[in-house]
Amino acid sequence: MPIHEKSLIRPEDLHTHDELVIDGVDVSGHWSTFIESRVVSDYNEALQDEIEALPGGEYIHRCWQCGSCTNSCTVNAINPDFNPRYWIYLIRMGMESELLRDKDIIWQCVSCNKCTYACPRDVFPEGVMKATAHWLERKGHTSTSPSTHFDTVFTEQIVATGKIEESRTIRRFFQRTKQSLMQDWMIEMVKKMVSGLPVGLLARMGLATLVAPKTKDWSRASAAIQEYIDEQHEKQGEALDLVKLARQTGDTKAA
Ligand code: SF4
Ligand code: SF4
């Protein structure tokens, strides 16, 4: 049988023989390529429900596997292993162990939403990528991703001050992800800012970095946003617990 999508087969599952003759026909080299057969026995039947329970994953059941998301994907153009269509397929099939093989690249979605606009079924693939990355973290399959660290730092700043001050966001993001601030691109950017921006603006930016300015009367809005965040977090935890409970009791309606 011809190999239609060789890129989807793991290299370790492809075998060739340097010297092989079958029925007198020399099929050495790539002519004798075999695909290692595999048996998937550890289906997670609740996988789709678990992803659907997280924000962004709600419409994964609509996918009809057309591939427009992957075809239009910014990250896929650089790294063909980044394949939203394939991951959606694995989730819908409950193939958790296969999905886990790509656990370290799923968070790399840059939220450009090209897939969202390309999708004919309104699956919201960008949301599914976010939901899947959060699911991996919540299940302990991956540590907190740089993307989640960034979202957390950004949100903390909004809740605390009602404003975004970019240099503080970047500084805190680098601290959380244990990265040095002295990176070549950063030094280059600061040099360009110092030489290109008006002194008054630079002084205001420097002051805002040292003393975090706050939106006037922000405390009530801040409390309301924090309450909403806590509520959402609790709701997601409950939804995942419900899925787990339904799985244990065999009651699919509870999920
Ligand atoms: S939002 Fe993510 S998955 Fe969608 S096209 Fe952009 S990088 Fe790819
Ligand atoms: S574009 Fe939409 S329907 Fe097509 S494979 Fe991607 S998510 Fe599924």
List residues bridging with 26 in a β-sheet: 21
pLDDT in single tens digits along all 255 residues of the chain: 445 567 777 788 888 888 888 888 888 888 888 888 877 777 888 899 999 989 899 999 999 999 999 999 999 999 999 999 999 999 999 999 999 999 999 999 999 999 999 999 999 999 999 999 999 998 889 998 888 899 899 999 999 999 888 888 888 999 999 998 888 888 898 888 888 888 888 888 888 777 778 899 999 999 999 999 999 888 888 877 777 776 666 654 444
The reply to whether 252 falls in a domain is: no
pLDDT for 136: 94
SS (H, E, C) 44-98: CCCHHHHHHCCCCCCCHHHCCCCCHHHHHCHHHHHCCCCCHHHHHHHHHHCCHHH
Cα–Cα distance, 95 to 87 (Å, whole number) = 9
- pTM for the full predicted model: 0.73
Domain encompassing residue 178 = 147-214
The reply to whether 255 falls in a domain is: no
pLDDT for 250: 62
The reply to whether 19 falls in a domain is: yes
110 lines ligand 1 (CB under 6 A): yes
Cα–Cα distance, 20 to 110 (Å, whole number) = 46
The reply to whether 118 falls in a domain is: no
pLDDT for 214: 86
In order of 83, 87, 102, 106, 184, the CA distances from 61 in angstroms are 17, 13, 21, 19, 44
DSSP state of 217: T
The reply to whether 66 falls in a domain is: no
DSSP state of 41: -
pLDDT for 1: 45
Q: What is the whole-number distance in angstroms between the Cα of residue 116 and the centre of ligand 1?
A: 8
The reply to whether 207 falls in a domain is: yes
| Ligand approaching nearest to the C-alpha of 68 | 2
Q: Which of 68, 78, 113 to mutate to test ligand 1, by most ligand atoms within 8 A of the CB atom? A: 113
| Ligand approaching nearest to the C-alpha of 77 | 1
Cα 64 to chain centroid distance, Å, stands at 21
The reply to whether 243 falls in a domain is: no
Residue of 136, 67, 66 whose CA lies nearest to 101: 136
Domain count, the chain: 2
The reply to whether 197 falls in a domain is: yes
pLDDT for 251: 56
Which two structure tokens, joined as six digits, stand for 138? 């919540």
Cα–Cα distance, 242 to 253 (Å, whole number) = 10
Contacts of the segment 71-77: beta carbons below 8 A, 24+ positions apart: 71/118, 72/114, 72/115, 72/117, 72/118, 73/114, 73/115, 74/110, 74/112, 74/114, 75/108, 75/109, 75/110
The owner of tokens 């239609």 is 4
pLDDT for 4: 58
Q: Which residue lies with its CA nearest to atom 5 of ligand 1?
A: 73
